[in-house]
A and B are shown apart, each in its own frame.
Chain A
């Protein structure tokens, strides 16, 4: 593991080749389209799948960002838009990864089921710095409503991002950087 943060610049939609080249602990800058969804949108997406319906967006190779931004101030593209706790999406995530979703951006721990799905289908979990919402918003250059507009801040939107700052946390080999990083600096016996 290198001590210097080498930054990898990656483009969305992600190819299988790109995600296979990412390792837990890599610092990345993401550019391209990403889609927002949190609790309520995840529930609707998986319910639609269970009914055999077509989803309002094609998840193949796409990245979902767990975010519920603050309202947009006049003159800004979006409000403050940092990651929300990913664990609440764990229940729905394996189903979406099966649909071809390649990446997720959030913060906090994931379940073993999510890690297993990342390995099986070649997906990665990125973490963004929780609470660094004003800085993160600077990398969001455009916003478009995609689905479930009635959900307000929880609706699915497409963000056009440029050099969105994140860290690879779970890679396609099932490494979990939370565990590795904490173990490395723990001084407890």
Chain B
């Protein structure tokens, strides 16, 4: 058994909040540079150039890539041989978020009550926390803040098994097309297939923690990712939704076993400011 003081979690989460909001993942930046060379629309190429310039400027100045530094989503894989000491784990995560957002000059966008009061909590807490227990004695933390322009364009549908692959394709492409400019394309399309309603939604979000360029290990799903990417890029939505051939840079699918009577599908669109930072304790 390994003891970890929760203060270390707080410190790590705080740093990951800042890092994720200031520094675009390198492989995504490289992807945008390729896309800028291949984009068909002259205006689209210019927009991609600005997106690249923006990411590089944010990095140099350590300022947010985008002003909407989102709700803070925290994925945590906890080794089952870890014993947390020094306080409550969830409190420690929230403290890390508060510290990162207040001291990192990140925008606080979290309201306490969603319907009636909607008062800003002023430190971006509470984080949305997803934990899984894994073998070992390490803790992996992934922080991926996400703004509402893209989060609002997500969709979920309980398809019928008879809808099959064609049904999934139609739903994903329709979702990207009707989102148009709103999720700040070029997007990464996260798709969750199977499980039940909440499982599919979580898989879609989890798929966005994947590095752009990595594919599903199952060849059939990897092939579907490639096909969906091609179809999504035919919609013409393009950079900033002003028309072009680069609507998405990746489609990531995660799947899970499901019921004999169901085929849940969830789509979560991530904007070009796809924030993600991870660390291991």
A interface with B by C-beta (< 8 Å): 3-5, 25, 27, 67-73, 76, 79-82, 84-85, 87, 107-109, 127, 129-135, 137-138, 152-153, 165, 167, 169, 177-178, 180-188
Contacts and interface: CB of A to CB of B under 8 A. Distances in A.
A80 B238 contact: no
Nearest to A187: B234
A132 B50 contact: yes
Given A70-B107, A131-B66, A132-B51, A107 B240 contact: yes
Contact of A134 (B63, B180, B184, B234): B63
A76 B243 CA distance: 34
A82 B150 CA distance: 14
Contact of A72 (B105, B149, B243): B105
B38 interface: no
B149 to A, nearest CB: 5
Contacts of A107: 149, 181-182, 184, 240
Contacts of A153: 107
Contacts of B241: 108, 178, 181-182
Contacts of A80: 58, 63-67
Given A108-B181, A131-B51, A182-B243, A5 B67 contact: no
Contacts of B180: 108-109, 178, 182
B71 to A, nearest CB: 14
Contacts of B50: 129, 132, 135, 165
A127 B242 contact: yes
Contacts of B236: 181-188
Contact of A181 (B68, B69, B107, B238): B238
Given A84-B68, A87-B182, A127-B181, A180 B63 contact: no
A106 to B, nearest CB: 10
B169 to A, nearest CB: 12
A179 B252 CA distance: 27
Contact of B67 (A76, A79, A138, A183): A79
Interface residues of B, number: 46
24 contacts: A5-B43, A69-B107, A70-B69, A70-B106, A71-B105, A79-B105, A81-B67, A85-B148, A85-B152, A108-B181, A109-B182, A129-B50, A133-B54, A133-B64, A134-B65, A135-B54, A182-B241, A182-B243, A183-B236, A184-B243, A185-B236, A185-B238, A186-B234, A187-B236
A47 B152 CA distance: 27
Contacts of B61: 134
Contacts of B105: 70-73, 79
Nearest to A177: B242
A3 B51 contact: no
Interface of B: 40-44, 46-47, 50-51, 53-54, 57-58, 61, 63-69, 105-107, 120, 148-149, 152, 180-182, 184, 234-238, 240-245, 271-273
A68 B238 contact: no
Given A70-B107, A186-B235, A188-B234, A181 B41 contact: yes
A48 B46 CA distance: 41
A127 B184 CA distance: 12
A54 to B, nearest CB: 28
Contacts of A133: 54, 58, 64-67
Nearest to A180: B243
A67 B105 CA distance: 16
Given A70-B107, A187-B234, A188-B235, A85 B242 contact: no
A84 B149 contact: yes
A183 B50 CA distance: 23
A40 to B, nearest CB: 10
Chain B CB count within 10 A is highest, among A3, A71, A73, for A71
A132 B240 CA distance: 10
Contacts of A71: 105-107
Nearest to A87: B182
Contacts of A165: 50
A105 B40 CA distance: 26
Contacts of B245: 185
Given A79-B107, A132-B50, A185-B244, A73 B181 contact: no
